[in-house]
Amino acid sequence: MRNKTAVITGATKGLGRAIAEIFARNGFDLCVCARTEADLNTMQRDWAAQFPGQKLYTMPVDVRKKPDVLAFGSFVCNTWPQLDVLINNAGVFLPGKISEETEGVLEMQLETNLYSAYHLTRVLLPIMIPQGRGHVFNMCSIASFMAYPNGGSYSISKFALLGFSKVLREEMKPKGLKVTSIILGAAWSDSWAGVDLPYERLMQSEDVAKAIWGCYDMSDSAVVEELLLRPMLGDL
């Protein structure tokens, strides 16, 4: 019997790493990507010690670049004939005002936060749809449904990601594939590195990972379409 399989983008640190670990603990083999090869090599060494029964495949990828994303998708398809879970986690947060942002900020955040998920999902659906079951998670944000000061192009990109996720949900519904939008408030990740706030003020990556696993670990007759998670004391 084969292990179940999951693909996670941006998986070496923060939220992505916590999500990868909870799926590995539950018997999944993983295929992950990140920009920095050294971080992927470190993750491989950690996996050999922590999860000796699970396979970990890695590939350095800059998700801003469509050819990189397509190459990663091909790598996955050549590695596995089937895929159970896809988690589009990679993203970037650059605060700012639309009227003041430097040229190219919108394009960069759309490429990272939206286009990467769109292109990778399209490449991988052919090894998910034939099974008649599977799960796609898209890491959205409270910025996906509400405007706030200095949200700028980041919020535009996350609004678009939620729209992509909603459309994909409708298309995959008759095919048996679940689609879940994870709508996050502030959680500790590289985006918040160096911020002078009490540790408990932001959500913990492990709690987000547990919530995602809970969405996955349901019968085929139920799907969490959208999951909203916020810090206990609310938005920053």
Which residue type sits at 235?
D
Which pair of structure tokens corresponds to residue 161? 């990601």
Number of Cβ within 10 Å of residue 46's Cβ equals: 14
pTM for this predicted structure: 0.95
Residue that has been written with the tokens 């932001």 in this structure: 202
Structural fold of domain 5-229: Rossmann fold (3.40.50)
Residue that has been written with the tokens 């090894």 in this structure: 127
**Start-to-end Cα distance in the chain:** 46
Is the CB of residue 105 less than 8 Å from the CB of residue 158? no
- Sequence length of the chain is 236
DSSP-derived pairing of the beta strands 5-9 and 85-88: parallel
What is the three-state SS of the chain? CCCCEEEEECCCCHHHHHHHHHHHHCCCEEEEEECCHHHHHHHHHHHHHHCCCCCEEEEECCCCCHHHHHHHHHHHHHHCCCCCEEEECCCCCCCCCCCCCCCCHHHHHHHHHHHHHHHHHHHHHHHCHHHCCEEEEEEEEHHHCCCCCCCHHHHHHHHHHHHHHHHHHHHHHHHCEEEEEEEECCECCHHHCCCCCCHHHCECHHHHHHHHHHHHCCCCCCCCCEEEECCCCCCC
pLDDT at 235: 84
pLDDT at 103: 96
Structural domain boundaries of the chain?
A: 5-229
Among residues 55, 12, 8, the alpha carbon closest in space to that of 36 is found at 12
**Rounded average pLDDT per 10-residue block, the chain, 236 residues:** 94 96 98 97 97 97 98 98 97 94 97 98 98 97 92 96 98 98 86 70 92 98 97 87
